[in-house]
Homo-oligomer: A and B are copies of this chain.
Amino acid sequence: MKQNSGGGYKTKQKEKILQYLISHPNQHITAQEISHHLNQNGTTVGTATIYRQLDQLVHDGTIRKYTIDSRTGACYEYLPDAGECHRHFHLKCMQCEKLYHVACEHLCELEAHILEHHGFQIDQSKTVLYGICEECREKNKN
């Protein structure tokens, strides 16, 4: 298992980037937002560094990368309980941006079905189902 988010040295920049992501759980954060935030608070973190660190964090499984729209660019999100995320799927509302965790038999069955009948082994930790949540659908009716 890969686990050390310190596949390399521990640096201030790495810390700050991860801290920012951790302090915004279940939210889509863009590289730009991180850059803005970090360069506002005195420190200076280059764009390249941000992207390099994000890549590494994604690779480590600490955060997740989404791309909803190529125009907006990629989004990143901290995974609060990476270890416990094996038994459930994630539903992401495209309207309110909220992330829902759903542990449901149907989803486990689905996974088994896809593996058995389609030969494809789903990685739940990487998969996100996009859509609109109930709350937002209610809002939209008005």
A residues sitting closer than 8 Å to B (CB atoms) are 67-70, 73-74, 91, 93-94, 100, 102, 104, 106-107, 109-110, 113-114, 117-123, 126-134, 137
Contact = CB atoms under 8 A, between A and B. Distances in A.
Count this chain's copies in the assembly: 2
25 contacts: A67-B67, A67-B70, A68-B126, A69-B74, A70-B70, A70-B74, A91-B122, A93-B120, A94-B123, A94-B126, A102-B118, A102-B120, A106-B114, A106-B117, A107-B110, A110-B110, A114-B129, A118-B134, A119-B137, A122-B129, A123-B130, A123-B131, A127-B128, A127-B129, A127-B131
Contacts of A134: 118-120
A120 B132 contact: yes
A131 to B, nearest CB: 4
Contacts of A94: 123, 126
Contacts of A132: 120-121, 123
Task: Kindly name the residue among A113, A117, A126 whose own CB sees the greatest number of chain B CB atoms within 10 A.
Answer: A126
Given A67-B68, A94-B123, A104 B133 contact: no
A73 B69 CA distance: 9
Contacts of A127: 128-131
